[in-house]
Amino acid sequence: MKFLKETKEGALLLIYVQPKAKKNAIEGIDEWRGRLKVKIKAPPVEGKANKEVVKFFSKLLGAEVAIVRGETGREKDLLVRGLGAEDVRKRLGL
């Protein structure tokens, strides 16, 4: 899985965000970008979509999540602290 990498601190999850959606949801895998496609309700203004992404994945995975790259773009790298790549994959149901 190209969008999920193991690091010393936890798992690195590579996502592609589509803001202003009807609901927060994982859409599937964007093979072309090698990222997990995610829809987020919040608009991409004043960091609202970023906050929503962190909240959505923290709740979904039951772990601390931080954006480590891509604060201003649609392609973001999330660090899931304390979980391995395999744990993240299972919790996401992939």
Nearest to residue 20, comparing CAs of 55, 45, 37?
A: 45
- Find the mean pLDDT for residues 6-29: 97
- Phi–psi pair at 30, nearest 5 degrees: -90, 95
Q: Note the pLDDT tens digit of each residue in 32-84.
A: 999 999 999 999 999 999 999 999 999 999 999 999 999 999 999 999 999 99
Q: Does pLDDT of 1 surpass 90?
A: no
Give pLDDT, residue 18.
Answer: 97
What domains can be seen in the chain, in order of their start residue? Answer: 4-92 (3.30.1200.10)
Strand, helix or coil at 69?
A: strand
Q: Is the pTM for the entire model greater than 0.85?
A: yes
